[in-house]
Structure 1
Amino acid sequence: MELALLVAFPRKRKMFLERPNHFTKWRDEQFFNRFRLSKNTVYFILDHIKERLASPTNRNNAVTPEQKLLITLRYYATGSFLTVCGDFVGVHKSTASQIIRLVSHELALLRPTFINFPSTSTEIDAIRQKFYNVAKFPKCVGAIDCTHVRIISPGGLDAEIYRNRKGYFSINVQTICDADLRIQNIVATFPGSNHDSTIFNYSSIRGKFERGEMKDSILVGDSGYALKTFLMTPFLNPTGDGQNTFNEAQIRTRNAIERSYGVWKKRFPVLAVGINLKLESVESIIVATAVLHNIACYFGEQTPRVTHELEQVIDLSTFSTRGTVDNVNEDGTLQRNKLVRYFESL
């Protein structure tokens, strides 16, 4: 009887809407505006993670690795699950969320390949020279600062430590960049209430300098950091031409880090509008976008255009969280005074 019914009334085959091929659907400029990277760069990235994104089966209209990467890039470009699901037919919000977490994790694993602090003499000398070309500031291998990435409330007893001084929940992200705006080092684990100087004090990069691994190289940072032999900050109340010249050169050199934040967040606006996933996914998303930013710099990608409203959101998300910093450091003062005399001699 059951067999007869099956023959008489065969089960309907499940119909799936065909998802568009975004690589062929959009012209190059349209593709770039939607996904913030060129097609060639996306193919390059895909080559590094494709095998780990493949579904075990192609049944039930499985999402392909290409689609998974583009879904994630579209989320980074908008911060909106609704937009992502509208662009990718048949992808539910919960599926999109799972895909974004997976792809972000795989991209973040590329960190050792694409985010590196200079270690060889050749690398160090090349970075020093590019910084020197900006304002004749010598021995500089990086500009350091922090920027806030908005998140949703993590909930629980510790939620308030993520609330920054602007009143919203965030991760205070420390980065060091080179003169080409590439991110050389990133720390993306500290809640938004932490001061910039606190994050630096706990970072491994501080130990690298204190152990003398960078020899006589220095970083440049704002007055939210303590003056050290390897971290030059500006004079708060400069007197005389030498100190003023030092400050001018230090600020022009340090400007690279501020510009890098602008480019990074314009390329991936989710960093400014907010990551609306659970806290355990936030670090991998931040690091993943840093990896992609460096790849974009490597390929000479242009900075995407953003609306005036988004520009304002980006500006509001870039501010320092400064604690009380003891800037009286004898060795650091001696080092800075040497640089003042150097600038006086130019």
Structure 2
Amino acid sequence: MSKMLPTRKRKALCAFILLDHLENELEEETVKRQKKQFWVRSWLLKRQEKGCFHTLLDELHHEDPTHYRSWLRLDEDCFKQLLDMVTPLIKREDTVMREAISPAERLAVTLRYLATGETFSSLSYSRISRQAISEIVLEVCKAIYTVLKGNFLKIPSTEEEWHTIAKRFEDVWQFPKCIGALDGKHVVVQSPDNSSSYYHNYKGTDSIVLMALVDADLQFVYVDVGTNGRVSDGGVWNKTTLCQALMGNKLHIPPPSPLPGRIKPVPFVVVADAAFSLKNHLMKPYPENQLNSESRVFNYRLSRARRCVENAFGVLANRMRVFRAPIALSPKKVEHIVLASTALHNFLRRQKTGRALYTPVTLTDREDLGTGDVLPGEWRAEPAPSSMVQLRATGSNNYATNAKAVREEFRDYFSTNGVVSWQQMFH
């Protein structure tokens, strides 16, 4: 029909249609801009007026110090000390649009997340948006690990430091020449898109592996996190830098020497469970089908020393309850959470006031000095955390003759020169 119109009218009609189209586009753009002006919910904008995490902490500090400490798993002195360290890394400048979230608020919301495992949506009712919290938690976890790792999560580099660790194992757990208890956990995560079965572990969940060496005081000496859960559990240990350095004699560990009262030199060793392979520097229990009286005593003495790493993981999951359930974040983000949590664990274990708050005496395994019995810590009464899955026993039963000889020397020592009155009662 338009072809039957005169040329002038056709042109006028086309111009009218084009103008109408442009007006519609302009109207849609105006609506979009108006929507963008309200990108923050009104109740979130009242953060400065009504208060948030830091305001609540001030109130708890003055009115209810007990709940202040339980709310973040640390006391005010530890909070201020940690805040001073991380502030240069997490402080943001105010803009003409809004005031920046303060370092104290950023640290508080991150510690609350680690302590409770609350979702970002739940934490947003502190008047910080869920999107902001997701960025803050990752940023602050990176900062915590950065400022603490040098002093609180540093593997020993001198013979004297290794001697100190070994002396504590001998004094506290009656296992000489031990430089750490080793274990690992699958930390259940949210699988990234298009990752297929890359992170799929034997339990049917997606995970990354946390491998840790722990000292006699339940502090992490070394952590390796991030290996995808699909890798066999025995293979994870072999891939760690600690294993490679340990087997390559690159850690400045003291040279072999005899056990107390013995003649044959033996190396300093790490104690582990059946999931690992027996090596010169790595002692594991005797298999059940190879047990006599002496090997049972060895297994019992080794299991006592190995309680250190069990307790470290138990305390971590009990106090950092983000590990009580699968962490619905990508593997890379969970790595930062794990590293920050283990460094923070060590930081709190070394504080005079913070240690008693973070790990009350009854929370961890402790020894009855009269009988030698080990009283189980309260963390053991809790259900196993679903975010931490035990490694499978994939260690090979094949081992070198010299590794067997090292274990036999420890076995003979525990039944002769190193015997204690209570060991026969419990093995």
What TM-score comes out, normalization by structure 2 length? 0.72
> Which whole-Å CA distance do the structure 2 matches of 1:294 and 1:76 have between them?
15
1:217 and 2:254 are equivalent in the alignment: no
What is the aligned counterpart of 2:188 among 150, 160, 166?
A: 150
Please report how far the alpha carbon of residue 184 of structure 1 lies from its aligned counterpart in structure 2 after TM superposition.
Answer: 0.6
Partner of 1:28: 65
Higher mean displacement: 48-57 or 323-332: 323-332
1:278 matched to 2:349: no
Which residue of the partner structure matches residue 168 of structure 2? 130
Q: C-alpha deviations, 1:255-313, integer Å up to 9, x for none?
A: 110111010111111123132223331211110111110011111143388x99x9324
Asked if the contact 1:225–1:233 (Cα under 8 Å) also holds between the matched residues in 2, the reply is yes
Aligned-partner residue type, residue 282 of structure 1? V
Structure ID, larger Rg: 2
- RMSD after superposition: 2.4
Aligned partner of 2:218: which letter? L
Matched residues in 2 for 1:313 and 1:32: separation? Answer: 25
Q: CA deviation at 1:181?
A: 0.5
What corresponds to 2:284 in structure 1?
233
TM-score normalised by length of structure 1 = 0.88
CA distance, structure 2, for counterparts of residue 318 and residue 133 of structure 1: 31
Question: Is 1:121 matched with 2:159?
Answer: yes
Partner SS, residue 16 of structure 1: helix
Instruction: Using the TM superposition, name which of 311-320 and 233-242 deviates more.
Output: 311-320
Q: Does the 8 Å contact 1:195/1:322 carry over to 2? A: no
In the TM superposition, residue 316 of structure 1 has moved relative to its aligned partner by: 7.3
Alignment of 1:314 with 2:385, yes or no, is: yes
Residue pair 1:150, 1:170 contacting (<8 A) in 2 also: yes
* Counterparts in 2 of 1:44 and 1:145: CA distance versus 1, 3 Å: same
Gaps of at least 5 residues in structure 1 are 1-13
**Count of aligned positions:** 329
For the residues of structure 1 that align with 2:394 and 2:301, how far apart are their CA atoms? 25
Change over 3 Å in CA distance of 1:57–1:288 after alignment to 2? same
Asked if the contact 2:349–2:359 (Cα under 8 Å) also holds between the matched residues in 1, the reply is no
Structure 2: which 5+ residue stretches go unaligned?
1-41, 256-266, 364-377, 420-427
- Matches of 2:402 and 2:158, distance apart in 1: 26
CA, structure 1 residues 195+36, in 2 after alignment: closer, same or farther (shift >3 Å)?
Answer: farther
After superposition, the Cα gap between the structure-2 partners of 1:247 and 1:324, relative to the gap in structure 1 and judged at 3 Å, is closer
Aligned mates of 1:170, 1:254 — CA distance in 2: 24
1:81-105 deviation digits (Å, cap 9, x = unpaired): 123112x22x110011011111111
1:302 to 343, 358, 362: 358
Counterpart residue number, 1:6: none
Taking the aligned partners of 1:244 and 1:256, their CA distance within structure 2 comes to 20
Aligned equivalent of 1:141, options 170, 173, 179: 179
